[in-house]
Structure 1
Amino acid sequence: MRLLNRIIRGSVFRVGSLLLQIALTFIMMPYIVNSLGIRMYGFWALACAFVGYFGLMDIGLASAVVRYVSRALGANDKQDVNRVASTAFFTFSGLGMAALLATLILAFLSNWFFKSPDESKIFGQVILITGAGFALSFPMRVFAGLLNARMRQDLQSLTSMLRLLVANALIYLSLSNGYGIMALALSYLAADIFMHTLTAFMAYRIYPGLQIRPSLMSTASLKTLFSYGGISFWAKLAGIFQFRTPPILIAIYLNANYVTLFHVGARLLQIYSALVDSVASMGGPMYSWQEARGDKQALQNSFLHFIRISSLFAVFIGASIVFFGKDFVTVWMGKGYVTSYYIILILGAPTIIAATQGPAVNLLFSISRHRFMAVINTVETVIGLLLSMILLPYYGIYGVAAALGVSTLLCKSVILAYYTCKCIEVPGKDYVRAFAMPNLKLLAAMGFYFYLISDYLKPTYASIMGLAGVQMLLFIPVIYFFVLEKEDRIALAGVLKARKMGDDPLSAAHPADIDKDASCQ
């Protein structure tokens, strides 16, 4: 399988996995919340927020594994592949033990968060199960990294899709039979074990000579992994604090019920951001290849193509979420969740703007300029959390949403765009022409469409899906033929026809230069 075909195949599977996740979220979240109750689901969201902090223990090693296994493959050095994999596996195993110890401590201290002994006991048990699953995931990340190094994101996405299906089937069976939050946690744990086992099996099939033994651990490899992963860890650290801390602040100042209301709105926007990123990340391998060859002009052109295409996708989907969101949340979760829509409304514009900059983020990671992303993510997180603590006592969860929105606008609009253009020497007027003008045209047309259909929109699936379907049929041809420029259509056609190419120009590129740093996903 040629490298470009792997990139396309991986992108398709990644989008497919996200669409499956979106569909299952829409179907299962109301069922889970109604089965558990709003307060108990708040416990679940809070436990996930706490355990999510264990991701800090990754310290950037997962992306480093992909980087240096790819380099070893490029050099056809199977012994180095085994050294890197063994070093990472046993290092991750130690980190997993540390995560398990942290889980035990957190479960023991659960009575700090809840006055009721029964609620404290339940929360501690949920923490134990979810934390154990997270600890297990550490050593298994090596096998996912091995698949990525081979550009087999299709297989990794396939295992993720199977995990989603298994987890949700178990959740439905357990909750429908009257089991509660413990069954929810155990269902995810069982699905995770299934996914990790399948991923390890696939890795050994792809690497027939793979050996993971303590004797193959290397001090030099360990230093190299930590050196490369440090900056990625920094960027990831800021991201974890940014998205995991708000539910904890809400639980402290308010209660678990408000955690659920905030989570529903924020979750929809997180899924939206992941979907847009799956499109923006398609340019990553091409950026690395062009940068490695020193082809600055091609790099600039590719970035402008992707920023235009990706931003149009982001604006089209994002504006639709904002417009249809209130009626969708009402029919999806119930009338009592209108508050969740107001979270979407407050965070909508900042999230859309941040999503349009996906190609810029992807570019910086692909050409090893990700230190800037670490700095800007840190600034964004600090501003957001400080503003949250100031506004939350006065405006509740709306204050938290406003704080996060302000910090995102400050850091992910002008500053990020300016730095990216400076890195690859793209004139500001070319960037504005590529980014701003097409999106202004699109927003004007969508605003007119939304005005025409506003009287026909009702809080029913038939109404929402019907009007959204008409929108797709009308706007996709308009965007392709009248908003995109001719060179964009040529570029898209070239990617889609890549499977028919007899010679893959990327096949000569170094694998380590083609792979995108996993930490920016």
Structure 2
Amino acid sequence: MNIPRTLFISSVARTLFLIFNIVVSFIMMPFIVGQLGDHWYGIWVILGSFASYYYILDFGLAFAVTRYVTTSIEKQKYEQANIIINTSLVIYSLIAVLILVVAAIIAFFTTVFVASPEELRLIRIIIVVMGLNMALEFPFKAFAGIIQAYLRYDLLTYSHFISFSLRTMAVLYFLSHGYGILTLSIISLFSNQLCNVMFFFVAKHLFKKLKIDIRLFRKSEVKELFTYSIWAFLTQIANQMRFRVDSLVIGGILSASAVTHYFIGARLVEYFRTLVYKATNMMTPVFTKYHARNDKAAIREKLLFVTRINTILAIFGGGIIIIVGKAFIIKWMGTDYTDAYPVLITLMLAIMVQIIVNPLDNLLYAINRHRFLAILNSVEGVVNLMLSLILIHRYGILGVAVATAIPLLVARIFFVPVYACRQIDLPLWKYLTSLGNIIGFSVFYLAITYWLSQARLTVPSYLDIMAITTVAGIIYISIIPFLFFSRKERNLLLSMVRR
């Protein structure tokens, strides 16, 4: 397998699809908000954030399955890979039943939070539909390790494209004909199951020796999987507190409409984070392969290389969004939503740092040192929640954004690099040096871009926003490879592009 070429193809496919996804979502969001209204759209966001907590019931198993399946296939132990897959399939099927039970219980007790009888009935139905959606998804997680073992994220992307396109057309049709929030949940249910079925066939295509047989279930593997996954499970809980608690706090203390305003700024940041992750967040199986060979030198080399790429994407991409963000929000959603811009700036600064450090997270999962992340992220999540409850009363939605940003910045700047570099015998100064020059140059370049572009953004227009972003991006991309990549690295990047 040509790892750089396979990763590059997957990166391009994932990135292009996400760009398509983002463009369509930008067009769709004003339409959906207009059809549902601020109140019901805010409820949709709250319910979506709440439904994401079902992922906690994964108990971190997905990380364990991915790691052990990848290792088994790398060592050509195909029988062992099938044992892990079938064992996890049984576990996930039991978890799916648990999700349905939890959804029913949550729907029953919704009366505690919703006073209106009409809203109560509708919200209960949506909670059950979302629970069913999630329950049907879980068994397919048993095959996730196959995709990552072969690094064929591009094949998976095609199934997501089909599902997303059908879902978008369905939303346009039904909402424009007067249907509401319940229809959104039903459309998501059917489109996600279509994606799951295609996901299974992609996994079966890649792993020709795949067997689905209950006789391959092993109790001994259950313990092995959960020994690894327990720390990933704690990390998942922490991540929910770090990134999903905001909407619940705002909805509980302020209003559902305030959630919509916060979500506009947060959504732009999330789009950017996801875009970069789709392009670069594929290193855990790569590090796992080198770790299986005990090749620390290769891990260090690949880590520094992808970290520089992440730094370039994070600083320039996040900086450009901050520069044009206010103009874009005004043109996109209207002047009533300008309070989302300070939220965007605050969250973007934190996410830029997280993107830069993210390869270190991939490394710690690959070498089975993710216990550190679990503890650190748990502390970060608790601090986030406490600060949110304190700052929201004085600063509103901006206070919640600040509460999210502060613990994230402290954890990612002062703790993760020190611990992760020590695990692979990488001097911290070498890691920091590889970033410092890129950050310094990029900030200087963005400052000039900001100064030159302000006159064009006084009266917002999509054409000016696109022109500033495009011109600044072309110049930046033309310069940066010659400043911060060796000739060998430039040739590698160029060869991947050509292929």
The aligned residue for residue 465 of structure 1 is 466
CA contact (8 A) 2:391 2:403 kept: yes
Q: Distance in 2 between matches of 1:154 and 1:4?
A: 14
Q: Distance in 2 between matches of 1:4 and 1:445?
A: 29
The aligned residue for residue 212 of structure 1 is 212
CA contact (8 A) 1:379 1:411 kept: no
Indicate the SS of the match to 2:415.
helix
Q: Distance in 2 between matches of 1:325 and 1:499?
A: 30
Letter aligned with residue 493 of structure 1? N
The aligned residue for residue 408 of structure 2 is 408
Q: Distance in 2 between matches of 1:500 and 1:265?
A: 37
Q: How does 1:120-519 map to 2 (within 5 A)?
A: 120-457=120-457, 458-481=459-482, 483-485=483-485, 487=486, 489-497=487-495
The aligned residue for residue 119 of structure 2 is 119
Q: Distance in 1 between matches of 2:450 and 2:227?
A: 51
In the superposition, the TM-score normalised over structure 2's length comes to 0.94
In the superposition, the TM-score normalised over structure 1's length comes to 0.90
Distance 1:221 1:422, change over 3 A: closer
Letter aligned with residue 302 of structure 1? K
Taking only the aligned residue pairs, the percentage that are identical comes to 31
Tell me by how many angstroms 1:373 deviates: 1.5
CA contact (8 A) 2:300 2:424 kept: yes
Distance 1:306 1:345, change over 3 A: same
Distance 1:397 1:361, change over 3 A: same
Deviations 1:462-507 (A, max 9, x none): 11111211212222112223x324x2x5224225536999xxxxxx
Tell me by how many angstroms 1:153 deviates: 1.8
Letter aligned with residue 413 of structure 2? S
Q: Bigger CA drift: 354-363 or 33-42?
A: 354-363
Tell me by how many angstroms 1:331 deviates: 1.1
Distance 1:18 1:137, change over 3 A: same
The aligned residue for residue 30 of structure 1 is 30
Q: Distance in 2 between matches of 1:413 and 1:449?
A: 26
Tell me by how many angstroms 1:192 deviates: 0.7
Q: Distance in 1 between matches of 2:452 and 2:3?
A: 46
Q: Distance in 2 between matches of 1:239 and 1:207?
A: 31
Letter aligned with residue 471 of structure 1? A
CA contact (8 A) 1:279 1:310 kept: no
Q: Bigger CA drift: 153-162 or 125-134?
A: 153-162
The aligned residue for residue 88 of structure 2 is 88
Distance 1:306 1:210, change over 3 A: closer
Q: Bigger CA drift: 136-145 or 168-177?
A: 136-145
Distance 1:422 1:58, change over 3 A: same
CA contact (8 A) 1:14 1:278 kept: yes
Q: Distance in 2 between matches of 1:41 and 1:90?
A: 37
Q: Distance in 2 between matches of 1:209 and 1:288?
A: 21
Q: Distance in 1 between matches of 2:4 and 2:474?
A: 30
Q: Distance in 2 between matches of 1:250 and 1:61?
A: 31
Tell me by how many angstroms 1:194 deviates: 0.8
Distance 1:75 1:287, change over 3 A: closer
Deviations 1:176-229 (A, max 9, x none): 111111111111111011111212233333444533233332111222222222
Distance 1:211 1:434, change over 3 A: closer
Letter aligned with residue 371 of structure 2? R
Distance 1:209 1:299, change over 3 A: closer
Distance 1:283 1:97, change over 3 A: closer
Distance 1:67 1:415, change over 3 A: closer
Any gaps of 5 or more consecutive residues in structure 1?
A: 502-521
Distance 1:239 1:136, change over 3 A: same
Q: Distance in 1 between matches of 2:316 and 2:112?
A: 45
CA contact (8 A) 1:66 1:148 kept: yes
Tell me by how many angstroms 1:390 deviates: 1.2
Indicate the SS of the match to 1:357.
helix
Distance 1:436 1:216, change over 3 A: same
Q: Bigger CA drift: 324-333 or 419-428?
A: 419-428
Tell me by how many angstroms 1:238 deviates: 0.8
Q: Distance in 1 between matches of 2:428 and 2:74?
A: 37
Distance 1:2 1:470, change over 3 A: closer
Q: Distance in 2 between matches of 1:297 and 1:199?
A: 34
Tell me by how many angstroms 1:403 deviates: 0.7
CA contact (8 A) 2:71 2:288 kept: no
Q: Bigger CA drift: 14-23 or 386-395?
A: 14-23
Q: Distance in 1 between matches of 2:72 and 2:354?
A: 35
Tell me by how many angstroms 1:287 deviates: 3.7
Distance 1:3 1:455, change over 3 A: closer
Tell me the matched-pair count: 498
Distance 1:284 1:78, change over 3 A: closer
Q: Distance in 2 between matches of 1:368 and 1:134?
A: 28
Letter aligned with residue 473 of structure 1? I
Tell me by how many angstroms 1:13 deviates: 2.2
Q: Distance in 1 between matches of 2:200 and 2:285?
A: 25
Q: Distance in 1 between matches of 2:369 and 2:83?
A: 27
Tell me by how many angstroms 1:367 deviates: 2.7
Any gaps of 5 or more consecutive residues in structure 2?
A: none
CA contact (8 A) 2:63 2:232 kept: yes
Letter aligned with residue 461 of structure 1? Y
Q: Distance in 2 between matches of 1:339 and 1:308?
A: 33
